[in-house]
Every structure is written in C-alpha cells, then in structure tokens.
C-alpha cells in the first residue's frame, strides 16, 4: 500500500511537468525577454573540449621543454668546480676548470696552441 502511494506521488510529479503553462501573454513575454537582453551581457564562448585538450598539451610540451633545458643547462654548463693557476713563460694564467682537468694537461694544451 505504502509502495503504491510512493509510486503514485512519483508519477504525479511527472504529470505536473506535462500540465505546466506559462501565464504570460505575448507582450509580457516580449518585455521579459527585452529586459533580459538589456540587463545582461553575453559571456565569451568557452573553448570546446578539443581545443582545451590542445591547449593543455601545448602548455605541457612547452613546460617539458623548459624543464629539459634547465636540466641540460645545469648539468652541461655547470659552474666551475675549481680554479687552476698555471704559469707559461713566466706569466700566470688563472682559469676555471671543469670536468677534472689538471694543470699538466692544460699546460700541454696551451703549449700546443702556442706552437
């Protein structure tokens, strides 16, 4: 019995929709529409899902490239590990040394350039 009552109420709610009637006449409705148009500005259309996805991909790709550049920059062009001093022909040269260079092989390199 209670179940039947519930179903009856449920179905009655569906009937309300079917019987709905707007009480506004044509002129009144026109006034409502005009007021809405006067009072409200359009909002810019949102990008659709496809172009939103494209944007997300583009931004992710740019971010990934930047991150990679940062890593490469840090690893390859890292600051000097240490400074070395060498003397060639009585002149002292101070140079930044990376990748484990030693004064000996640097002197050799300089000498080969001078020669």
Rounded Cα distance, 40 and 113, in Å: 78
The full length of the chain comes to 115
CB 77, min distance to other proteins, A: 48
Of the pair 35, 78, the CB lying nearest other proteins is at 35
Interaction residues for other proteins, span 47-106 (CB under 8 A): 48
Rounded Cα distance, 24 and 40, in Å: 21
Rounded Cα distance, 72 and 76, in Å: 6
Chain center to CA of 28: 49
- 4 belongs to the binding site for other proteins (CB under 8 A): no
Rounded Cα distance, 34 and 43, in Å: 17
CB 37, min distance to other proteins, A: 5
Interaction residues for other proteins, span 7-46 (CB under 8 A): 9-10, 12-24, 26, 29-30, 32-33, 35-37, 39-46
CB 94 within 8 A of CB 85: yes
Of the pair 7, 108, the CB lying nearest other proteins is at 7
Which residues lie near other proteins (CB under 8 A)?
2-3, 5-6, 9-10, 12-24, 26, 29-30, 32-33, 35-37, 39-46, 48
């Amino acid at each position: 019995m209670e179940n039947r009552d519930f179903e009856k109420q449920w179905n009655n709610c569906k009937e309300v929709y079917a019987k709905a009637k707007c009480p506004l006449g044509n002129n009144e409705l026109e006034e409502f529409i005009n007021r809405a148009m006067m009072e409200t500005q359009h909002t810019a259309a949102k990008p659709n899902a496809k172009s939103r996805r494209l944007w997300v991909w583009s931004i992710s790709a740019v971010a990934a490239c930047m991150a990679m550049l940062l890593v490469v920059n840090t690893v390859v062009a890292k600051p000097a590990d240490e400074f070395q001093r060498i003397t060639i022909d009585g002149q002292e040269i101070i140079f930044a040394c990376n990748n484990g260079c030693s004064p000996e092989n640097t002197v050799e390199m300089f000498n080969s350039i001078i020669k």
